[in-house]
Structure formats: C-alpha cells, structure tokens
Amino acid sequence: MRSTRTPLGTVLAVLPLAVFGIYVLLPVYWLLVNATKSTPDLFSTFGFWFSDDPQFWQNVRDVFSQDDGIFARWMVNTVWYAAASAFLSTLLALMAGYAFAKWRFVGRDALFWVVLAAIMIPGAALAVPTYQLVSELGLINTSWAVILPSIVSPFALYMLRVYIDGAVPDELIDAGRMDGAGEMRILRSVVLRIVTPGVATVALVAFVGSWNNYLLPLLVLSDPELYPVTLGLTSWNRQSLFPSIGSEVLYNAVVTGSLLSILPLTIAFVFMQRYVRSGLTLGAVK
C-alpha cells in the first residue's frame, strides 16, 4: 500500500515558498481591503477585513478628481519615465552586451570587471553626483532629469552579456560577417531574434525599477505636474500627516492611489511572464 505521508523534503521546500508568498501578497491584500474604506473606517476597523460600508468606486473617483485630477497626470508621467528609461537602458545594454560577448578587443575583460564593480555600488551613494551632473546639464525639474540617469544600467549590461554569450553561437555571427552583414544588421537580425526572452526580461526589470523610483525624482523634481506617482502619493501622504489650515486629509486617496499604481505592473507581468520564465534560464546553458 502506497504511503500517503508527505516527504519531509517536500514540506521543507514548500514551507519557505509559502512564507515568502504570504510576505509578498499580504501588503497587496491590505491595499485591496483598505482601498474600499473611507478615511474614518481606515482607523476604526480591522485592517485586514472589509468595512460594513465599502466605497471603493467613490474612492477611485476621489483619487482622479483630487487637485484637479493630477493623479492621472502622475500616472502618465510614470509610464513615460518608466517606458523611456526601460527602452533606452535595454537598447544600450543590448549593444554593449553584444560587444562584450562577441567582440575581441584590448582591455575587454578589465572593462567588464569595472561593470561588475559598478553593480555593487548602491544607487543612494550616487545621489549627490547624479544631482550635480543633472544640474550642470540644466535639466533640473525636467522629465529628462529622471530618464537620463536611468538609461545606464550595469546590471542590464551584465545580464545581456551573459544571455548573448550563452545563447548565440559564434558560428552564426561569423556566418553573418562572411555574408557581408554589418554588426548592427547581425545584432538586429540574428542576435535579437535569439535573445528576445532575455531582452524582454531585462526590459521588464528596468521598467519596474523606474516605475518604483522615488529617490531620483525627489532630488531633481519640484513641479507637482512632473511628479511620478511615487512622489505624488508621498506628497498627499505628507499633507495628511501634517495638514495645514483648509487642507484635506487624504489617507483613503493615498491607499486607493497606491492600489491603482500597481495595476500596470501586474498587467505587465501577466502578459510577459512567458518571456520572463524563458529569459531567466536563457544564458544558463551554453
């Protein structure tokens, strides 16, 4: 008779995954529950269950009507910053990754070690130099002050270099060169078609990183019309924490706006999960 007992190894493998899943999903569940509440209910009811008088759609209307509908502007800004940063950083990383993987030039390995070292530098350590550079370029309080510092990503370069080196045979590159194709033609027609899942994965990571960026916009933007949603919701939250005379308390708008702000990322992951799954293992086997 076959035993129905669960092997200890399975339990030990599943338990950390369950804990991690709860850790990740619990804040989302909290947002979903509390986005249905009024501001008084946020403080008078249990945080992980719905109130008796849900008003989700009213909260959504309030979010999009608050301050002359500036939340919609923040969302558009965020999409623009994230999309432009992801596209440009992925494009540069693809070209540089191809060069590091398939070109032979003096100092290639040493230069790549510099790239690896740059990955270890925390972004906060570069905050002041980045601000000074953006200021010298006269870009303070413009959208390019957020986009340009985000387009150089050592991590994206490293990932695409690994993808290309592991997935694209040298024979294909040599065949293209023998047929008279230039390097950009080879990159576009040969390399890109093979490493599309890897490119999509890197682009998605860059998009999410830019979408969640808070420190850089805080340093270089002062016009609320240019805020991304992270900075905009923080300004509403600060207004609620330290209300001035005649100002509104916007806790329910902050919670509902936070829920709305994660929906585009959720949709992006749903539609790109196939690329992410294959892209994560693309360069693993050569």
Tens of pLDDT along the chain (286 residues) come to: 455 566 777 878 888 989 998 998 999 999 999 999 988 888 888 888 988 888 999 999 999 998 888 999 999 999 999 999 999 999 999 999 999 988 888 888 899 899 888 888 888 888 889 999 999 999 999 999 999 999 989 999 999 999 898 888 888 888 888 888 888 898 888 898 888 888 988 999 999 999 999 999 999 999 999 999 999 999 998 888 777 655 667 888 999 999 999 998 888 888 877 777 665 565 554 4
Q: What are the angstrom distances between the C-alpha of 135 and each of 65, 131, 144, 147, 191? A: 34, 6, 11, 14, 38
0.85 exceeded by pTM:
yes
Q: Which domains does the chain have, with CATH numbers?
A: 54-283 (1.10.3720.10)
State the alpha helices, DSSP H only, in the chain.
8-34, 39-44, 56-65, 70-102, 108-119, 127-136, 144-147, 154-167, 170-178, 183-186, 192-194, 196-211, 215-220, 229-241, 251-280
Decide if 145 contacts 188 (C-beta within 8 A).
no
Question: What pLDDT score does 38 carry?
Answer: 87
Question: What pLDDT score does 1 carry?
Answer: 47
Question: What pLDDT score does 106 carry?
Answer: 87
Question: What pLDDT score does 286 carry?
Answer: 47
Q: How far apart are CA 2 and CA 10, in angstroms?
A: 17
Residue length, the chain? Answer: 286
Using CB atoms within 10 A of its CB, is residue 146 exposed (0-12), middle (13-18) or buried (19+)? buried
